[in-house]
Chain A
Amino acid sequence: MSKYTEDDLREELKTKEYEYGFYTDIESETFAKGLNEDVVRAISKKKNEPEWMTKWRLDAFKIWSKMEEPEWANVNYKKPEFQEIAYYSAPKQKPKLNSIDEVDPDLLATFEKLGISLEEQKRLANVAVDIVIDSVSVATTFKKTLGEKGIIFMPISEAIQEHPELVKKYLGTVVPTSDNFYAALNSAVFSDGSFCYIPKGVRCPMELSTYFRINEGGTGQFERTLVVADKGSFVSYLEGCTAPSRDENQLHAAVVELIAMDDAEIKYSTVQNWYPGNSEGKGGVFNFVTKRGLCETNAKISWTQVETGSAITWKYPSCILKGNNSVGEFYSIAVTNNYQQADTGTKMIHLGKNTKSTIISKGISAGKSQNSYRGLVQINSRAENARNFSQCDSLLMGNECGAHTFPYIEVKNKTAQVEHEATTSKIGEEQLFYCNQRGIDTEKAIALIVNGFSKEVLNKLPMEFAVEAQKLLEISLEGSVG
């Protein structure tokens, strides 16, 4: 075999096209482009929402209209034209389906290409999938099994109808409508998303999973996810996404809210593989996400993310450690290639006593991409014995990419122990030589090193997802992961 060098890898990365870039032609019902109060009302009406929900959306819209798009992130892009986006798009799939056979075969084929055949998942994997094609969920599985435990897992639009008291109580409590520009926009126009409620003391028997896809060209997807884990419960939630190849920039502004009550634990894993744009940096998804979790006493929230897609990623899954002894974790791998830009990290707000947080962030930049870690660790004056450990490692491939770290550390309590460390490096000649000496060719050696570099985070993913994550790393850094 000819010698495989880093230059070859770079070359491959440059030319590698997005493998999952297909487009399913399903008849869609799409609103005219533009956003005003009427559109917000229309979305709400379409969803047959109660009055309070419409009002909530309108309030959010009013707040949004007064806000300015933030500019502090370390990314450059042409701002989306908010009046050029269609705010609602739903596949014409009425009435609701009861079994998987009724699902449009085209749709099923799409999922098969993604390697998430429902059939197979129903039979083999212990995973309930709430599939979202564009904005409306069309199939929900394992609902019955979950129902027996009292677990509610359904599209949020249904939850608004069936469990209005729960939604009303928790929606917007962790991410208020006025939180930021994109959260406000999402609150006004979110079309669907997932709602999950785990009752007291229940351990959710399976991984809950949602697949998102942006399907209709020119529509932004505004997902809203709300996960409530009642006292002493446990849930592991998976979120993954791929998007078809399009030249037009697509906007994705999701909001995820997690609430972990006393002694509860939520594990939230994401694999993000939206279309990153082609090798000239044309097209690709704008991913502006607000994710935040609230921990009550003894609760734990763990965010794990593998970010390989999107032209622009702007995402800071955060934990508010409100209760005493609560724990927040953030494990992240962000891979950027070509012209991708990622500005991602976390916020750990320590309010309660004996709170702990761990941040492990791994950034891999290749091509002409820019990868930034931006994080905040805040220890408030009453957070006695708070503990934080942060580690941010960056791996650079080629000298046209960049890796940046912007950690903010604010400590107001003397008993706090905060450690932050960051390193930046490339794959060392010595490391490669060592592997070569032992009969491992350069390609495998690079794979080994990148794998080892990301292992700490990959290990945190649930089994079912770890495979998917590996697969996406392969696509993003083809040739480097064996």
Chain B
Amino acid sequence: MDLKEKIVSSYVAFEDGVNINSDIHEIRTEAFQNFEKLGFPSKKLEAWKYTSLNAILKEDYSIFPDNEKTINLADVKQYFIHDIDTYKVVFIDGKYSSFLSETTHDSIDVCLMSSALTKAKYKPVIENYFNKVAKQDNLTSLNTAFSKEGAYIHIPKNTEVEKPIQIINFTTGSEAATMLQPRNLIVVGQNAHVQIIERHQSLTENAVLTNVVTEVYADRHATVDYYKIQNDHIAASLVDNTYIEQQSNSIVSVHTFSFGGNITRNNLNFYQKGEHIDSILKGITIIEGKQHVDHHTLVHHIEPNCESHQDYKGIFDERSTGVFNGKVIVEKEAQKTNAYQKNNNVLVSDRSTINAKPQLEIFADDVKCSHGCTIGQLDEQALFYMQQRGIPKKEARALLMYAFANNVLESVKIPEVKERITKLIATKLNVNIGFNI
């Protein structure tokens, strides 16, 4: 039985655990039918031309890990940004862990999707925002069909959230292979400000497939800083579908740090529904082995006077493969748009591959749009210069690579996250960079 059949036949079991007479379930059922029709994406689809899921779909995933697992904080502390105070929404094998979490209902809501979907007081928000911006493609539909748990964050207007919010999904590996489908909803009101850190972490070498969907709404003048840290075990694959809708004068930035995992696919979509919006998409990818990271971005400029800035850096070693597929659409009405897209890559090994497709579709004439894409090597002369001055080659290379990625790090607003990423880069490059930022 292949994975699709297995998922389809287990839907009845899923329905036992939810209220099937709710409006939400209608949405689920519709999405389920959509997935049943579409199936998993194949390489024949233009959007999946460079990424094949075949290898990971062969695993015999357990779709509902049943037993509740507990883990010791000491074992997983390293995966948190623990040196600052944060709100935490933590899931273990898809189930909420109250022990590790720190939620709140004090003026803001940082809690669970399961309660948001079922409790009456959240109904207006859910009705307005749940599954509205998410595209009805195959994997998003699959997630919607099984949407039940995840993080629910609602920041009312004029609120500045005083500390960052961490969303962490742990997989214990109690089953040979686990499939998870978290569903997050983040609604940020007018003039509100929030910082979010998201992480998916597997605790064993067992296979994991996470198909996560996150919807973000940024109302007028709202500011959202979103950081995605992807440094999972080699057996863990991630399909991250993020959909962001922005209203006038809002600023949303998403930083994606991809250092680990087997196959990582980031579908990051921005829809600009007002004027004077700024969308920022940044990413650093440093991978090796047979790892595969695919950044698939979309910025849809619908209204005039908006901006978007994309900057993705990639370093690919051994037999790794990197994909960058960035699409910018500028509608006819979206005059005075400034859209910038940059993608720089370094191939370290002869067997690594990069496939890039920076795409522009422009229907308005008074715009400034540009994209740049480069693929190259480290500057031999710079290496030589440093070696001459007593810096060993390995460190010199690491320094150069760090400098290469630094542009993206500079816009990280939480110092502890920046520090953590610097450390991860150092570990990844196998050196001690020996300075703090």
Contact = CB atoms under 8 A, between A and B. Distances in A.
A165 interface: no
Interface centre among B332, B365, B374, B377 (most CB of A within 10 A): B365
Contact of A414 (B332, B350, B356, B365): B350
Contacts of B410: none
B136 interface: no
Interface of A: 72, 379, 381, 394, 396-426
B366 interface: yes
A407 B362 contact: no
B369 to A, nearest CB: 4
B206 interface: no
A336 to B, nearest CB: 13
A422 B370 contact: yes
B252 interface: no
Given A405-B360, A409-B354, A412-B353, A425 B368 contact: yes
Interface string B344-372: 01011111111111111111111111111
Interface residues on B, range: 35 or more
Contacts of A401: 363, 365
Given A381-B350, A397-B365, A425-B367, A420 B360 contact: no
A396 B351 contact: no
A402 B362 contact: yes
Contacts of B377: 414-415, 417
A409 B365 contact: no
Contacts of A414: 347-350, 352, 377
Contact of A418 (B365, B367, B368, B373): B373
Contacts of B256: none
A190 to B, nearest CB: 31
A422 B358 contact: yes
Question: What is the interface of chain B mostly: helix, strand, loop, or mixed?
Answer: strand
Interface of B: 46, 332, 335, 345, 347-377
Contacts of B362: 394, 396, 402-404, 424
Given A396-B365, A411-B355, A422-B372, 18 more contacts: A72-B46, A396-B364, A399-B335, A399-B366, A401-B365, A402-B363, A403-B362, A405-B361, A407-B357, A409-B357, A410-B356, A411-B345, A411-B356, A412-B352, A414-B377, A417-B376, A422-B370, A424-B360
Nearest to B374: A419
A150 B66 CA distance: 82
B371 A418 contact: no
A417 B375 contact: yes
Given A405-B371, A415-B377, A421-B371, A426 B359 contact: no
Contacts of B374: 417-420
A409 B356 contact: yes
27 contacts: A379-B375, A399-B332, A399-B365, A401-B365, A403-B360, A403-B362, A404-B360, A404-B361, A405-B360, A406-B359, A407-B356, A409-B354, A409-B357, A413-B347, A413-B350, A414-B352, A416-B347, A418-B374, A419-B372, A419-B376, A421-B371, A421-B373, A422-B358, A424-B360, A424-B370, A426-B366, A426-B367
